[in-house]
Structure 1
Amino acid sequence: MNGSITNKFGEVYYSNEVLAKMIGLSTMECYGVVGMASKNSTDGLWKLLKKENLSKGVKIQTKDNQLFIELYIIVEYGTKISVIANNIIQRVKYNIEKFTGVSVSRITVNVQGVRV
């Protein structure tokens, strides 16, 4: 989905990569998140992504101008996963709707690992 924002000054166009980076950065702001995860296709293992590749832990689907977001994260040991997931959902939904004006329909948080 290549989206756009229109105001009295003109139009701003953005790509899925921009949305994915915004979502990845919003996720990393949440307490208890160690990082985003990416599946290694050769051996099927999940690995921790560096800050430059946060968008690889995000999958975006669009339908009728609504976003369906799937996140793959690694959490910190000793934190309550339900609280972390709820915090991520609220923050990502707020940031994306505020900055882009696109309605977020569903956010799925997949915990792929726990780090000490």
Structure 2
Amino acid sequence: MNMIIQDDKSNLGMIEISSEVLEVIASIAVTETKGVHSLQNNFASGNFEKIGKKYRGRGVKVETEDNEVLISIYVTLDTKGKVHETAENIQKNVSQAIRNMTDHVVKEVNVHIVNIK
């Protein structure tokens, strides 16, 4: 599903951002967070990679409804960091990255810690 951004200051047209773009932004923000070992594949990303397409948003699921963004992150953390602190930093970094790049507020960032290595 795509997210529509309306800008009342301009008559140039509509801006549409696909969910895949939001997934890539979120995945970059997660991997730049201290204490993150890696993102975990989810069902969709595993299938895309099997058919030969490199999937940059792996481990990230984005849902948009009524121009609200809901993000689920599936992640493996490092053993050296504090789990709770790292998860909170992931939430902050993802939310801030989406806001900075798309000027849209994220309603939820749900962090699913799949493993610790």
Q: Which interval holds the TM-score relative to the shorter structure?
A: 0.7 to 0.9
Quote the offset at 1:3 in angstroms. 2.7
Amino acid corresponding to residue 85 of structure 1 in structure 2: A
Quote the offset at 1:61 in angstroms. 1.3
Quote the offset at 1:40 in angstroms. 6.5
Question: Unaligned stretches of 5+ in structure 2?
Answer: 45-53
Whether 1:24 aligns to 2:17 is no
Cα pair distance change 1:2/1:39, threshold 3 Å: closer
Count of residue correspondences: 105
> Which of 60, 63, 82 matches 1:61?
63
**Helix, strand or coil for the counterpart of 1:55?**
coil
In the alignment, what sits opposite 2:103? 101
In the alignment, what sits opposite 1:2? 2
Cα pair distance change 1:81/1:107, threshold 3 Å: same
Amino acid corresponding to residue 32 of structure 1 in structure 2: G
Separation in structure 1 between the aligned mates of residue 42 and residue 102 of structure 2, nearest angstrom: 28
> Which of 77, 80, 86 matches 1:78?
80
Given the two structures, how large is their TM-score scaled by the length of structure 2?
0.78
Instruction: Render the CA deviation track for 1:26-82: whole Å, top value 9, x for unaligned.
Output: 0001001011001469xxxxxxxxxx5441211111222111110000111121110
> Which of 92, 95, 104 matches 2:94?
92
Separation in structure 2 between the aligned mates of residue 9 and residue 71 of structure 1, nearest angstrom: 36
Could you tell me the percent identity over the aligned residues? 26
Given the two structures, how large is their TM-score scaled by the length of structure 1?
0.78
> When you count strand as a share of all residues, which structure comes out higher?
1
